[in-house]
Amino acid sequence: MGISKKYLADNETCRVTFTLPPGLSKTAESANVVGDFNNWDTGAHPMKKRKNGQFALSIELPVNNEYQFRYFLDGNTWETDLKADALAASSFADQYNSVVKV
């Protein structure tokens, strides 16, 4: 998994690219990025499968914020991005949300 960031010229927006690792991408048929930025809507941000087999998606987010998120695979499995900027306890026992800071 991975997150890359590119701050845009307006200094108010950051393009964040979310990428699933090959291991998860190989077994998943679909993937979505779900989080604070889309009100945890499981269908709002579907990821695209690249030619190399990895799922990825870029989203533009307002800067000076932190956003919790998780990956939702095949409509039934939640995955945490352990390479995120931070982790935050979720409302579900023993589960953590990933955090991206922009």
Q: How far apart are CA 94 and CA 91, in angstroms?
A: 9
Model pTM?
Answer: 0.92
Instruction: Assign domain 2-101 to a CATH class.
Output: mainly beta
Interval 49-58: pLDDT, tens: 988 889 999 9
Structure tokens at 75: 């409509």
Structure tokens at 32: 């979505």
Contact 57, 16 (CB under 8 A): no
Interval 44-95: pLDDT, tens: 999 999 888 899 999 999 999 999 999 999 999 999 998 899 999 988 778 8
For 23, list phi and psi in degrees, rounded to 5.
-60, -45
- Helix (H) / strand (E) containing 24: helix 22-27
Within 10 A of 78 (CB to CB), how many other CB atoms are there? Answer: 14
Q: Domain extents for the chain?
A: 2-101
